[in-house]
Amino acid sequence: MKFSKMKFSKGLTLFILPVLVYGFSEKGITKVKKASNPLESQNTLIETAPQSLGNTPSTPFVKPSADELKKRLTPEQYSCTQEAGTEKPFQNKYWNHKEDGIYVDLISGEPLFSSLDKYDSGSGWPSFTKPLDQDSLIFKKDFLIGYERTEVKTKSADSHLGHVFSDGPKEAGGKRYCMNSASLDFVPLEQLNKKGLGKYLFLFAAKKKWEVAILAGGCFWGVEELFREKKGVIETQTGYTGGKSGHPLYTQVKTGTTGHAEAVRILFDPQSISYEDLLIYFFKLHDPTTPNRQGNDVGTQYRSSIFFADDQQKATAEKVKARVEKSGAWKKPVVTEIIKAETFWPAEDYHQKYLQKNPAGYTCHFLRPLQF
């Protein structure tokens, strides 16, 4: 078969065949149309040029002026957040609030505390044993009432929240974050996804009897997108796992030298979809027969892996893998690893829900009409 070859910048090469067009680069081509027979070809038409993989940060929060805040806030909210005021105990919105969800900065919307860490301290103010991220807070000594206390403020909006004391539950670290309701807003569990706070749903897995699967099957953009659409899946998160170092960055993982796999953490409701059915779906959306490769992406970071959380998940994974191999649906041996889950390191924000943010973005994943 005759073909011509054209090279473009950034390592992109096109091989033009009479029927098919393939693009090769490190996540360099954009989303492609599926072939009429997806088992024969993954990529048939390149729709747009390569996109930059640079981290494009979200627009930074800009705090409104004092005049604007006075218009937006109630007098008590302004006093508490801007003047280090204190609301009345037992006469505030959240002191006895018991709903599941996340408490955020009233002004910036920054996530601050989880309802899972809230407890009744008897003080009459909402109290927490710990913040979601201590680095999002500022701690400052104050002597406003005649003795030393530690004030807690937010970095994002410089909002006064309250104070932290060392008389909290010992079994939970001994801290009591005593906050003003007037400095907080609350996002209920069912609204976390809508508000862009879906990653915090994983915190509620045990309480809600949800389960978590960690799977790797090539570029995590496409894997996440297909699982995100699956009924019974509550939330997904891309990240890195199975490697040799902590807190890996994409720039490190993409070299293939850190040992990490690009993976997707999947929160699912076992009442709606079983772990077994999730794995069967997994074996249809990627090619489990290509070692350290998926589509155009080559490297150990693109290996096929199931990271099991416990013996039950391990047994299920082994059962499903054997079923897939026995079916003969894949004509080559299945090379999927089944290994114990280690620390899952969330990927950079620009990798999260990538194909939702970039509908024409690159993917080499699609569902095959296979039966196992």
Instruction: Render pLDDT for 295-338 as a digit per residue (tens, 0 to 9).
Output: 999 999 999 999 999 999 999 999 999 999 999 999 999 999 99
pLDDT confidence of residue 124: 98
- Residue 25's pLDDT is what? 37
| CA–CA dist 86, 77 (Å, integer) | 10
pLDDT of residue 2: 37
Indicate the pTM of the whole model.
0.83
| 185 & 280 share domain | no
Q: Is residue 118 assigned to a domain?
A: yes
Catalytic status, residue 364:
no
Give the rounded percent of residues in the chain with a pLDDT score beyond 90. 82
Residues 44 and 92 in one domain: no
Q: Looking at the structure, do residues 171 and 290 belong to the same domain, yes or no?
A: no
Q: Give pLDDT, residue 306.
A: 98
Question: Per-residue pLDDT tens for 107-153?
Answer: 999 999 999 999 999 999 999 999 999 999 999 999 888 889 999 99
Which residue's structure tokens are 């996002």?
Answer: 187
Same domain flag for 225 and 329: yes
Q: In this predicted structure, what is the pLDDT of residue 79?
A: 98
- Whether 205 shows a pLDDT value over 70: the answer reads yes
Domain of 17 in residue numbering reads as 1-51
pLDDT at 322: 98
pLDDT of residue 145: 82
Report the C-alpha gap between 354 and 243 in whole angstroms.
23
The answer to whether residues 161 and 275 belong to one domain is no
**Is residue 196 domain-resident?**
no
**For 164-184, what is the mean pLDDT?**
98
The answer to whether residue 59 sits within a structural domain is: no
pLDDT value for 31? 41
Provide the strand spans (E) within the chain: 4-7, 13-16, 21-24, 101-105, 111-114, 118-119, 127-128, 137-142, 149-154, 160-165, 176-179, 184-188, 211-217, 233-241, 261-268, 293-294, 297-298, 304-308, 337-340, 345-346
CA distance 107 to 73: 9
Residue 147 resides in a domain: yes
Shared domain check, 222 and 342: yes
363 within domain boundaries: no
Residue with the larger pLDDT of the pair 129 and 20: 129
Question: Which is the catalytic residue, given 53, 80, 161, 178?
Answer: 178
Q: Above 50 in pLDDT, residue 1?
A: no
pLDDT greater than 80 at residue 22: no
Q: For residue 70, is it within any domain?
A: yes
- Count of domains observed in the chain: 3
Check whether residue 158 and residue 80 sit in a common domain: yes
Residue 100: give its domain's CATH number: 2.170.150.20
Q: Which two tokens stand for residue 248?
A: 């890996």
Give tens-digit pLDDT for 48-77: 222 222 323 457 899 999 999 999 999 999
Q: Of 219, 279, 317, 341, which one is the catalytic site residue?
A: 219
Q: Which residues contact 188 (CB under 8 A, 6 or more apart)?
A: 99, 100, 101
Please tell me which residue, 48 or 171, carries the higher pLDDT value.
171
State percent of the chain over pLDDT 70.
84
Same domain for 302 and 225: yes
The residue out of 189, 222, 255 marking a domain boundary is 189
Average pLDDT rounded to a whole number, residues 205-215? 98
Instruction: Judge whether 80 counts as a catalytic residue.
Output: no
Same domain, 227 and 134: no
Q: State whether 71 and 137 are in the same domain.
A: yes
pLDDT of 8 over the 60 cut: no
Please tell me the predicted confidence (pLDDT) of residue 27: 52
Same domain, 178 and 306: no
Quick: pLDDT tens for 215-249.
Answer: 999 999 999 999 999 999 999 999 999 999 999 99
pLDDT at 47 exceeding the cut of 80: no
For the cut 70, the answer to whether the pLDDT of residue 38 exceeds it is no
Residue 190 has pLDDT above 80, yes or no: yes
* Residue of higher predicted confidence among 32 and 270: 270
Measured between alpha carbons, how far is 297 from 310 in angstroms, rounded to an integer? 30
**Confidence band of 291 (pLDDT split at 50, 70, 90):** very high
Average pLDDT over residues 354-372: 95
Is residue 367 included in any domain, yes or no?
no
Examine the pLDDT at 178 and tell me if it is beyond 50. Answer: yes
Q: Rounded mean pLDDT of the chain?
A: 87
CATH number where 353 lies: 3.30.1060.10
Strand partners, 188: 101
Of 159, 189, 219, the domain-final residue: 189
DSSP character at residue 190: G
Domain contains 152: yes
Cβ neighbours of residue 224 closer than 8 Å, sequence gap 6 or more: 236, 237, 238, 264, 353, 354, 355
Same domain, 77 and 157: yes
